[in-house]
Amino acid sequence: MKLNEELLDDENEKILSKLDDTIGLSKNKVILRDIIKYHKVMQKYRCNIEFENYNIIIRNTSSYNLYEELISVIAEVYYKNGIIPNPDILYFDPDEFRYNTRKKESKTNNDIKEGLIVIDLVELRRSPKRIKEEVKVMINQMPTKAFIILEDEYREGEVNAVLTECFSWSMKIETITKEEKEIYIKKFMDSNELTYNEEIVRELADNPYYLVKNKLINLLVNCKINNEKSAIKILKKSERLENNKKKNIEKTGMQELDELIGLDEVKEQIKKVISFVKNSKKRNNMPMLHMCFNGNPGTGKTTVARIVGKIFAEEQILSDKKVFVEAQRCDLIGKYVGHTAPMTQEMIEKSLGGILFIDEAYSIASYIQDEGGRDFGAECIATLLKGMEDHRENLCVVLAGYTNEMRHMLKVNPGFESRIQFIINFPDYSAEALYDIFKNLCKKDKYKISSNVKNYLIEHFMYAKNNENFSNARYVRNVYEKVKIEQAYRVNTNRNENINLIKKCDIEKVLAKFKENDKKVAKIGFSI
């Protein structure tokens, strides 16, 4: 008992408690406790082993990306216990195989003296086995470093075959159930002293987890602004306002398309497609409608696809109903033999008369094999291609994803290339357009912004666009949500403040944190 108390102190438990706040991660506390004990024992008793192994494989069995939250806690635990000299998180770049610093300097493996080294195999679905073998060599060459491998459950056998001997620990991001979301919602309400009922909890839990988090933050901000403790009243008020908006401002799909910020070339192409399809239908020569949307994250691919679905319904191109079905890899590909084809077929049938939108479509084209060598990805593609052909007059499949990955997918799968009628490229937003998106978000929530904010935000967006992981409009929304929280805190701290005004100081605090995070997280590669 005394040894356990010595190994697991209050400071460690405080760090580990952060996992309690994110559902899907809490079970990993047990594994981190074991790692701490292992390290303390190795240090205390100087056990006779070749080297201490703190490498971890993290497998994601959920449909949410919770890697960042888990890795940040691991880094903090490792740093606190002296496993790594500082809590920096270093991401391996497989395309460059060298250190990628701001000055683009090359360094050797011996220069890596701090932080966790994270290798994201989820992003390497198309990589040949050679990449994984080189990763194995790199890990073996640096036995004193701490590595984390990120991968999904579909590649478990392949990863185990190549890399398991390099890793002593494994963690899992669990599938998030509705019951867990309900517990999370109640805990949030209770901790912020908000009153609620079971009906509200169930309605909120029907949303995807990332939306649950956003909705709860918005709810808390609105409660603070209105000096209201009842979540029930605020949600009912929001529902009434939303219903009134829908009644008073029911825009056509074409109007929604025209009002989108930027995307001028995309909007023009969509209008040409609509005109061509309408004219072809009048001539009784209906073409295939399947499309491919290429672009970086946050460039409006999903939004435009939804608008196209609305326009199709208004123009009765496929049917007079607005049918729009969103699917991802997990909705189409099963875990076991015989599951994939029925799952894909079910999504096709749900989409008849409208659009089947497949985001990150390139992920279904990766080579996913079970122990018998059967390729579930190929089974999904075969079923999808047949559906695209059989239902060409009452189904539009829109494949969306990153530009390079989508080009590769079409190239290696001729069946897609021959059926895709329209390819539309979505460019990154300009800094000015990103500011307009921020301003539009403020307008929708009835915020005003100080006149000295525009140039400051545009300058920051120009800086942020240089980050290779920049997510365009998604990044702007993330900034906006955090600015609202800073503004609400300032307003409630100083009673004489205008509750509807966002000031430059609110934005400065948020962007300072963003830049600080950019400095902490380096993206690197290695020469092997």
Output the CATH code of domain 263-426.
Answer: 3.40.50.300
pLDDT exceeds cutoff 90 at 172: no
- 8 Å CB contact between 113 and 132: no
Nearest Cα residue to 218 out of 441, 394, 409, 512: 441
| Cα(430)–Cα(267) distance, integer angstroms | 16
Give the sheet arrangement for strand 422-426, strand by strand.
324-327, 354-358, 395-401, 291-295, 422-426
Please choose, from the candidates 288, 292, 266, 303, the residue with its C-alpha nearest in 3D space to the C-alpha of residue 362: 292
Structure tokens at 33: 């406790």
- The yes-or-no verdict on residue 154 having pLDDT over 80 is no
Q: Can you give the pLDDT at residue 4?
A: 54
Lowest mean pLDDT among 134-143, 306-315, 420-429: 134-143
Mean pLDDT of 123-142: 62
More confident residue, 124 or 457: 457
Tell me what pLDDT residue 108 has. 42
Query: Cα dihedral sign for 381, 415, 358, 150?
Result: positive
The strand pairing partners of 424, in sequence order, are 293
Per mean pLDDT, which range of 99-113, 276-290, 375-389 is the poorest? 99-113
pLDDT at 144 > cutoff 70: no
- Rounded to the nearest integer, the mean pLDDT of the chain is 80
Round to whole Å and give the CA distance between 13 and 8: 7
Q: Is 370 helix (H, G, I), strand (E, B) or coil?
A: coil
Architecture of domain 429-522: Orthogonal Bundle (1.10)
Give the pTM: 0.56
Q: How confident is the model at residue 46 (pLDDT cuts 50, 70, 90)?
A: low
Please, what is the Cα angle at 137 between 132 and 143, to 5 degrees? 120
- Is 47 or 214 the better-scoring residue by pLDDT? 214
Banded pLDDT at 319 (limits 50, 70, 90): confident
Q: For residue 46, what is the enclosing H or E element? A: none
Can you give the pLDDT at residue 248?
Answer: 52
On the question of pLDDT at 489 being above 60, the answer is yes
pLDDT of residue 162: 67
460 CB-near residues (< 8 Å, 6+ apart): 511
Q: Please name which of 79, 59, 67, 73 lies closest in space to residue 170, comparing C-alpha atoms.
A: 59
Q: Provide mean pLDDT across the span 461-466.
A: 90
Phi, psi for residue 189 in degrees, rounded to 5: -60, -45
pLDDT tens digits along 440-459: 999 988 899 988 899 999 99
What is the predicted pLDDT for the residue at 430? 93
Q: Which has more pLDDT, 30 or 114?
A: 30
Q: Is the CATH number 3.40.50.2300 carried by domain 2-176?
A: no
Of the two residues 522 and 117, the one the predictor is more confident about is 117
Predicted pLDDT at 152: 65
- The mean pLDDT value for 369-379 works out to 61
Query: Which residue in 142, 5, 151, 19 sits closest to 74, CA to CA?
Result: 19
Question: What is the pLDDT at residue 432?
Answer: 94
Arithmetic mean of pLDDT, 108-118 = 60
Would you state the pLDDT for residue 281? Answer: 87
| Interacting residues of 347 by C-beta distance below 8 A, sequence separation 6+ | 325, 327, 331, 332, 356
Find the mean pLDDT for residues 300-328: 90
pLDDT at 241: 62
Residue range 210-263, pLDDT digits in tens: 778 788 888 888 888 888 888 888 888 777 766 655 555 578 999 999 999 999
pLDDT, residue 100, reads 35
